[in-house]
Amino acid sequence: MNLRLAALIVNFDSGSYALALARAVRQQWLELGAANADLEIVVVDNASNTDQGRELAALQQFGARVVQSAQNLGYAAGMNLALAQTRGSDSDLVLVLNPDLALFPGALGRLLGTQRETPGAGAIGPRAFLEPTGTWRMPPNRLPTPEGEWLAARALREPELARALSNTRTQHALREWTAIEPTEVEMLSGACLLLSRRAIASAGGLFDERYPLYFEDTDLCMRLSRAGLALVFEPRAEIVHHWARSSGIERGDSEPGRRRHLSRDAYFERWFGAEARGPLALADALVGASAVFPPGEFRELGECHTAPSFEFSGSGTRLLEIAMVPSFPLAAGALVGGASWRMDERAFEWFYRGRYFARALDSIDPSGPVHRADRGPWSFLKPSPARVQPLSPLELERGVISKR
């Protein structure tokens, strides 16, 4: 393989994940027959709050280039700093990686193969699962709009609007959840992106540093699309994204939320200007509002110390969605069959502590209407925290076997 790849990771309190990910990238690179010298792995530690010394030292011994920032630059600036440590020609590739990812076997090869077969692509992104059994698909990203922000805020108080919006989101998600070949999409997640250096230059650079956290990938996708470059979803390249392990959501850190708000405002100001200010102000007025749903809307499963089970009518294939908000503004999806289905314990251990809402849909046709099943929806509480140890290669191998 006559190719050079720069793999970039920005670490914040996730050193064990970053180390496991870097090892997986190198292993899969070498399995492709590529030269070790043609792979650069750069890890920027973004002034982590906790001691990352042991993990960063292991990364250096492993051959990664480690850069320690004296301050938290934000994800965009940290990633740009990582890119600046690398060199390559226009045709060489850059792999943007969140630290809290794990690669299923063959994922890197699939991404590289699709990039080679799609010369007009601006970026390639994989299918992402929440957990290692390959059951729960991550929700696809969509380009946000001011009206969408306002409607999503209203949906917390208007159940009928919430159902309509979530049904529209589900129809969009099914296009990616059921895809079996590369598909052009409107947006890719910045958690894992493969780009050529030429595409980055065409977009005017990698990430815009006006975004301290979140929306940097949204902005990049907008710039790539404006440059006439396709965004390609490759469902055969599969990863696990242990969502938000590096952002502090479960431990109640408020800083990610503050940074997200700043990034959101910067994004809408850049791409929508004055048109966005009214809808965003209306949406912000509802911040902190509790979701309102009719009493008895959800079947209560209680505290689940082990993985929950769900009963259905009939035995066909259906979509089971799960969310942490009853209006289902974002939801992970699982395609399941049978008259009953129990979540795998290996999946359940990766779910955060908290209240969950689940619903079953009888239709998995992305071009057709969404039909709610006559069982459910359900609600349950997971009292135990999510697993914190990164996955081992053996666990990922077993995940591939179990879901095939």
- The amino acid occupying position 79 is M
Per residue in 53-105, pLDDT (tens digit) is: 999 999 999 999 999 999 999 999 999 999 999 999 999 999 999 999 999 99
CA distance 399 to 404: 9
Q: Could you count the other beta carbons within 10 Å of the beta carbon of residue 288?
A: 7
Residue 242: band (very low, low, confident or very high) from pLDDT cuts 50, 70, 90: confident
Name the fold adopted by 299-403. Immunoglobulin-like (2.60.40)
- Chosen CATH of 5-241 out of 3.40.640.10, 3.90.550.10, 3.40.220.10, 3.40.50.2000: 3.90.550.10
Q: In whole numbers, what is the pLDDT of the chain averaged over residues?
A: 91
Facing residues of 9 across strands?
43, 97
Alpha helices (H) along 101-207: 107-117, 146-155, 159-177, 197-202
275-285 as b/e: b if 16+ CB within 10 A: ebeebbeebee
What does the domain layout of the chain look like in residue ranges?
5-241, 299-403
Per residue in 195-225, pLDDT (tens digit) is: 999 999 999 999 999 998 899 999 999 999 9
Q: Measuring CA to CA, which residue among 5, 91, 84, 13 is closest to residue 53?
A: 13
Q: According to the model, what pLDDT value does residue 258 have?
A: 87
Please report where in the chains the tokens 């004055």 appear, as a residue.
Answer: 274
Q: Could you count the other beta carbons within 10 Å of the beta carbon of residue 396?
A: 22
Q: According to the model, what pLDDT value does residue 291 have?
A: 67
pTM: 0.93
Q: According to the model, what pLDDT value does residue 392 have?
A: 87
Q: Could you tell me which residues come within 8 angstroms of residue 61 by beta carbon, excluding any fewer than 6 positions away?
A: none
Per residue in 329-353, pLDDT (tens digit) is: 899 999 999 899 999 999 999 999 9
CA distance 315 to 336: 9
Q: Which residue has the higher pLDDT, 303 or 286?
A: 303
Q: In angstroms, what is the C-alpha Rg of the chain? A: 21
pLDDT at residue 377 is higher than 70 = yes
pLDDT at residue 1 is higher than 80 = no
Per residue in 259-293, pLDDT (tens digit) is: 888 999 999 999 999 999 999 999 988 876 666 77
CA distance 289 to 153: 9
User: What percent helix, strand, coil does the chain show, rounded to 5?
Assistant: 35, 25, 40
pLDDT at residue 404 is higher than 50 = no
Tokens standing for residue 247: 């952002």
Per residue in 354-375, pLDDT (tens digit) is: 999 999 998 788 888 888 877 8
**Three-class DSSP category at 165:** helix
